[in-house]
Amino acid sequence: MGPVTIGFGIFLIVVGLVGYGTSETQAPTALIPAGFGLVLALLGALALKDSLRKHAMHLAAMVGLIGLVGAAGMGAPKLITMLSGGTVERPRAVISQVVMAAACLVFVGLCVKSFIDARRARAAREAEQAGS
């Protein structure tokens, strides 16, 4: 999962940089996805080391969940307004928030699947060792 985490981190960095570069006001808040991406990329790099993998990936999943809740909480209501024909103050920011929320949702889902798979594999190894 380390390389996947690095990939999601790089994706969020790009989302943040594009959001910042294309915003009318170049508000520093447009870089929030890049901040989350940087943290994920660093945690993914730490997860490449066997002794740090478990802790790094659990922390990465938590960062992804915080990113999901924050971005969805900010972006979803505004997206609903946009889709229903209303106007929002910064539509590009809404798009950035929704993209971040979607990426974090996929990432957290992959983390949960990975944690479940790892637990099953560990239980199978233990059962095999107990049977020997």
Mean pLDDT, residues 10-21? 95
Cβ(63)–Cβ(36) under 8 Å? Answer: yes
What average pLDDT does this structure show over 71-90?
A: 90
- Show the CA angle centred on residue 126, arms to residues 123 and 127, nearest 5°: 85
Which pLDDT score, from 0 to 100, does residue 130 have? 84
70 Cβ partners below 8 Å, 6+ apart? none
Domain ranges for the chain: 2-131
pLDDT in tens, 74-83: 999 999 999 8
* Cα(128)–Cα(83) distance, integer angstroms: 54
Give the separation between CA 20 and CA 92, rounded to whole angstroms: 10
Q: What is the pTM assigned to this prediction? A: 0.89
Q: Which two tokens stand for residue 106?
A: 């996929």
| pLDDT over 80 (residue 131) | no
Q: Which of 47, 46, 38 is nearest to 15 (CA)?
A: 38
